Chain A
């Protein structure tokens, strides 16, 4: 009996390895866990895309739950999630601030004119510095930021209907319920 068990050992090892490899098939190597979750959103003050004389800072959104969406006119995958963002803005589902990442302002404005502008406003991160502050490496990226300015969720790559329904919407509802910490 003991001997039989020893012969089964390689099979057991193989099965364990197989389970890990199988799991690996469904993991996306691009989705690196963000070190920003539950950390305060880095501060910045950038000129707005459509009104360059006006500035925007995340502090302006204190007390609101909002999305910071990193986009660019050169970004192909941004086109993919764009209809969903437009839809969300029509429904007034959540304030969306655009971080126009390493883009030419004219190209960015043209892109919004062509495909629709779902953003409450967009800010210009022309040299990508704020992108680095937010650890951006795969545009589009979307941060969910709560009433206290803390990042609660990060989506790398396009937001899909499924991600919106299953992850972001429930989180937004939950975050809206909790009040802002007195500060």
Chain B
């Protein structure tokens, strides 16, 4: 029993570690906002991590910034805008839709539509080429004759 309890307590250790990097605690709702916001923002020092994941000093500072701004009652949009005016659209993992990013957003859909179109047209043209007319009697007789003449028609129908 004590062993299990010890193991359970061990599970709380990471919480302690996190508490040390965040200077002040927030209420659960704000805490969730902090985590959500920092997960959307790219840490520019280690570009494949979000501010939430990164341990770079800048990420810690930026988490503190978000923390402070939440306490000041700023909205999520205001906080994200704060980051964008300083670090550019690149901080957003979800880039905004505008002229420079249109290709990024529309590109995959356009390629998919193009592929569907090409696929459809290929099917249509193939159907046009396939001759589904049943054989006439003359053709059938001709076929039988050809099969018989090669000597491979062991099982005439």
Contacts and interface: CB of A to CB of B under 8 A. Distances in A.
Interface of A: 29-30, 32-36, 102, 127-128, 131-135, 137-138
Interface size class of B (residues with CB under 8 A): 10 to 19
Report the 3 A-B pairs with minimum CB-CB distance, sorted nearest first. A137-B44, A135-B86, A35-B88
B104 interface: no
A153 to B, nearest CB: 15
Interface in B16-53: 44-45, 47
Interface of B: 44-45, 47, 57-58, 61-62, 65, 84-90
9 contacts: A35-B86, A35-B89, A127-B61, A131-B61, A134-B86, A135-B88, A137-B44, A137-B45, A137-B87
Given A35-B84, A137-B44, A137-B45, A132 B62 contact: yes
A137 to B, nearest CB: 4
Centre residue among A127, A131, A132, A133 by max chain B CB count within 10 A = A132
A127 B57 CA distance: 11
Given A135-B86, A135-B87, A32 B61 contact: no
A135 B45 CA distance: 12
Nearest to A32: B90
Contact of B44 (A32, A33, A36): A32
A127 B45 CA distance: 17
A32 B86 contact: no
A132 B63 CA distance: 12
A17 to B, nearest CB: 12
Please classify the interface of chain B as helix (H, G, I), strand (E, B), loop, or mixed, using the class held by over half of its residues: helix
A152 B129 CA distance: 64
A30 B88 CA distance: 13
A102 B58 CA distance: 10
A38 to B, nearest CB: 13
Contacts of A33: 88, 90
Nearest to A137: B44
A29 B57 CA distance: 20
Contact of B45 (A34, A102, A133, A138): A138
Contacts of A29: 47
B10 to A, nearest CB: 34
Nearest to A74: B57
B47 to A, nearest CB: 6
Given A128-B61, A131-B61, 6 more contacts: A32-B90, A35-B88, A135-B86, A135-B88, A137-B44, A137-B45
Nearest to A136: B58
Nearest to A42: B86
B45 A132 contact: no
Contact of B86 (A30, A127, A128, A132): A132
A132 B68 CA distance: 14
Contacts of B57: 102, 128
Contact of A137 (B58, B65, B84, B89): B58
Nearest to B48: A29
Contacts of B65: 132
A32 B92 CA distance: 12
